[in-house]
């Protein structure tokens, strides 16, 4: 069936974290008249982050959601057309490139910048799904407040898990941190902060056997992999902080990716294997995954798109 194209744009940006908004700022200034669709989580992962202390220009730090409002306002002021909507399918087999929005309308674009980011990974336990929203959460910052003065558990060993454990320690009576190995992956400074926080207990070499509770989280059962012992710890919430996976599924038929689904770009550029398609931010970066590197790659993508459109005589 022939696709009904409802609109033609010069530069289409998919996703709205630091990468997408920065791309929109640069593309607008280059007069590419970019259209940006915000996706399922407008503002991206920073909207579920509290204090951002490591972004240049904010000496006192800033809340993640507030920072994303600043990014969006700046993009709008430059002239970007920012819309609510989700890219649900693409056809990169010919030019102009085609992108379906909300499973209902197709847009043609001369250049597409993908900045769809990454999403939280889950353990895959049936109890985790059943109790999701009833004490199980992948965002301590969003949901920690509801468990003020309670005992909670968090699983993970990286910087995010350490940051979230510290955040929870300020709200909750006690935080049980479940670490699968005998060491953490978090940076030294974050590890030290966790180890020096009296109301955080680390359970080393431990796996989550089951999250217990009928209608809400009541306890977590841990399996110690060195002793094979199982212990039940009463908790009111269970937070999952075990990493992320890139939101790249709709592009897999067209774009080169690594084995975990991160979009491959030509080193030193934002260019993908398809001419006119560029990728920026966490959907193509599994190494750094910072707001500042995402913003930088959004700038690269807009500049690469501008050059491409200029060379093709499309701008």
Question: Catalytic site residues?
Answer: 139, 142-143
Q: How far is Cα 274 from Cα 255, in angstroms, rounded to an integer?
A: 7
DSSP state, 271? B
Strand-pairing partners, residue 195, are: none
Residue 10 near residue 32, CB atoms below 8 Å? yes
Strand-pairing partners, residue 107, are: 7, 99
SS3 (DSSP) at 241: coil
Strand-pairing partners, residue 13, are: 36, 113
Q: How far is Cα 89 from Cα 102, in angstroms, rounded to an integer?
A: 9
Q: Rounded to 5 degrees, what angle do the CA atoms 227, 160, 246 make? A: 105
φ, ψ dihedrals at 255, nearest 5°: -105, 145
First-to-last CA distance in the chain? 31
Q: Where do the DSSP E strands lie in the chain?
A: 5-14, 35-37, 51-52, 62-63, 81-83, 87-91, 97-101, 105-114, 118-120, 136-137, 151-155, 174-178, 200-203, 206-212, 219-224, 230-234, 237-240, 244-246, 277-279
Strand-pairing partners, residue 263, are: 257
φ, ψ dihedrals at 18, nearest 5°: -55, -35
């Amino acid at each position: 069936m022939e696709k009904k194209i409802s609109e033609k744009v010069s530069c289409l940006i998919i996703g709205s974290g630091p990468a997408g908004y920065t791309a929109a700022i640069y593309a607008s200034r280059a007069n590419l008249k970019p259209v940006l669709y915000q996706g399922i989580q407008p503002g991206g992962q920073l909207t579920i982050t509290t204090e951002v202390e490591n972004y240049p220009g904010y000496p006192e730090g800033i809340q993640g959601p507030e920072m994303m409002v600043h990014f969006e306002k700046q993009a709008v002021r430059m002239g970007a057309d920012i819309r609510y909507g989700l890219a649900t399918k693409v056809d990169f087999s010919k030019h102009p490139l085609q992108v379906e929005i909300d499973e209902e309308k197709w847009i043609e674009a001369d250049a597409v910048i993908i900045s769809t980011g990454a999403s939280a990974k889950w353990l895959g336990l049936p109890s985790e799904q059943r109790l999701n929203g009833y004490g199980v959460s992948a965002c301590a910052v969003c949901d920690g407040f509801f468990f003020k003065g309670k005992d909670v558990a968090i699983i993970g060993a990286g910087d995010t898990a350490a940051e979230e454990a510290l955040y929870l320690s300020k709200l909750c009576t006690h935080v049980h941190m479940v670490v699968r190995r005998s060491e953490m992956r978090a940076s030294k400074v974050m590890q030290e902060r966790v180890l020096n926080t009296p109301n955080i207990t680390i359970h080393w070499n431990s796996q989550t056997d089951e999250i217990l509770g009928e209608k809400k989280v009541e306890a977590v059962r841990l399996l110690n992999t060195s002793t094979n012992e199982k212990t039940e710890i009463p908790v009111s919430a269970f937070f999952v902080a075990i990493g992320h996976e890139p939101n790249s599924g709709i592009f897999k038929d067209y774009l080169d990716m690594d084995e975990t689904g991160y979009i491959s770009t030509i080193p030193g550029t934002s260019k993908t294997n398809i001419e006119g398609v560029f990728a920026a931010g966490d959907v193509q970066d599994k190494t750094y995954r910072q707001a500042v590197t995402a913003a930088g790659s959004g700038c690269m993508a807009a500049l690469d798109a501008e050059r491409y459109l200029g060379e093709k005589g499309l701008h």
